[in-house]
Amino acid sequence: MMTPLTIRSRFICLGLCYGILGLLVVGGCNDAPLPAPAPVPLGAEPAPAVPHVTTEKTEKPVASPEEKLPPVTPVEYINPLTPEQVADGWIMLFDAVSTFGWHHDGQINWSVEDQSLTADSGPIGLLLTDVPFADFELELEFSLSEHGNSGVFIRCVEQPTKPGGDCYEINIADVHPEGFTSGSLVGLQTASQALPTADGKWHAMAIRAEGKKIEVTVDGQVLCQFEDDRPEALTSGLIGLQKNAGKAAYRNIRLKPLGTRPLFNGTDLAGWHEVPGSQSVIDVVEGSIHVVNGPGFLETDETFQNFVLQFEAKTSAVELNSGLFFRAMPGTEENPSNGYEVQIHNGFHEGDRNRPNNAGTGAIFRRIEARRVVSSDQQWCTLTLITSGNQISTWVDGYPVVSWKDDRKPDENPRKGQRLEAGHLSLQGHDPTTDLFFRNIRIEPLP
């Protein structure tokens, strides 16, 4: 931790060099004065009354043709998570209005009806999450037509062929030839009782998968507790919703990652180091990493490849700019931040949070914009980042904002192409106006 003398000395230096530093641009940068306020559309949220403006203007980088960002489709914003659930790490897997964050082969008529995912025609098949999960709590509600058959799949491969072999299937059925009724793990363990669920009514299901243990609860009753001691026990994979027989519907689908470990101890910067040449003042203040001024970077000693990362961030003024870099090459004075960047910038156009004015918090900067600016300046927000191969997804306050697949040609530098290798995490001090806090930084590497 830096001493008061060190901090005073660095501020004196920064004062002498301020004009030069104001011209430096590293990472996601395009702070500029905002235009005069426009009339706020009916029902839209008002724009911040006093926009933050840097003392030095910088030009917004112009994307090259191969960097042209895909369009973002605005959707109705629904987030039923409570502040307590957000702080506890819960994320929404289903936004209640679209199939964002899910995929299927197109043979089943998956659609959204009355804030639920539904299907009733086509072959037997799955709607799958874009990213995998290892240890988690999963909660959802399901409805199945009379005499129907369906299921929830966890730790699943893209095209499963054998429950218990390349997936775990939690069955939803009142009748099964081998006794695997609702709540059973097909092929592995039957439910403790036959609980009728194929009646067209809504039922609640909770699944806890932690290490080798899986517990299934339906309508408040624990129906299955299973410990997989086989050598072939599954450790991570996609989550799938099945359409088998009859009409199946699912809603209120949310998940809490388990097994994350702290990357910041709340006391000092053990496990982190400043990138050479950093101009930021970085210290620990009341259990948070405080980053002031910039440009500069604080980098993890460890490297990470595929993982679930959750952290909290807060800006100290309106429309400050920062980010967290991942799979980054080792930072040097000449090249301090060659990595993918999760953007932190809460500005939006004309009171419309579906129109971020600088990619938006949760965006993968210069790759894909956040589809909504969920967080607000001067308030803590929780960001979740999941990387698996070339698939990258983010959530802000539990709401899904990015699901992006990097299909570029491979390159050691993520600024130039697809990087699948492990890399550092790095917190950004963007410019001389930077004043941000980071806390509760925790990670779970994916097997």
The terminus-to-terminus CA distance of the chain in angstroms comes to 34
Same domain, 365 and 428: yes
pLDDT in tens, 105-154: 999 999 999 999 999 999 999 999 999 999 999 999 999 999 999 999 99
Q: Where does a domain end: 257, 275, 308?
A: 257
Same domain, 209 and 142: yes
268 is a domain residue:
yes
pLDDT in tens, 407-440: 999 999 999 999 999 999 999 999 999 999 999 9
pLDDT in tens, 360-402: 999 999 999 999 999 999 999 999 999 999 999 999 999 999 9
Same domain, 408 and 330: yes
58 is a domain residue:
yes
Residue 170 has pLDDT above 50, yes or no: yes
pLDDT band per the 50, 70, 90 thresholds, residue 74: confident
Residue 295 has pLDDT above 60, yes or no: yes
- pTM (2 decimals)? 0.85
Closest C-alpha to 233, from 212, 205, 262:
212
141 is a domain residue:
yes
pLDDT at 81: 98
Q: How many domains does the chain have?
A: 2
226 is a domain residue:
yes
Q: Where does a domain end: 223, 257, 291?
A: 257
pLDDT at 274: 97
Q: Phi, psi (5° rounding) for residue 20?
A: -70, -45
Q: Which domain holds residue 325?
A: 4-79+260-445
Average pLDDT value over all residues in the chain? 88
pLDDT at 68: 62
> What tokens were used for 52?
């933050």
Q: Is the peptide bond between 74 and the residue preceding it cis, with omega within 30 degrees of 0?
A: no
Residue 9 has pLDDT above 80, yes or no: no
Q: Taking residues 156-166, what's their average pLDDT?
A: 95
36 is a domain residue:
yes
87 is a domain residue:
no
Same domain, 230 and 178: yes
Distance (Å, whole) CA 341 – CA 318: 20
Same domain, 265 and 253: no
Q: Where does a domain end: 206, 224, 257?
A: 257
Q: Taking residues 336-354, what's their average pLDDT?
A: 96
CATH of the domain at 372: 2.60.120.560
Q: Taking residues 59-74, what's their average pLDDT?
A: 54
Closest C-alpha to 150, from 245, 79, 228:
245
Contacts of 242 (CB under 8 A, 6+ apart): 124, 125, 126, 150, 151, 152, 153, 169, 172, 248
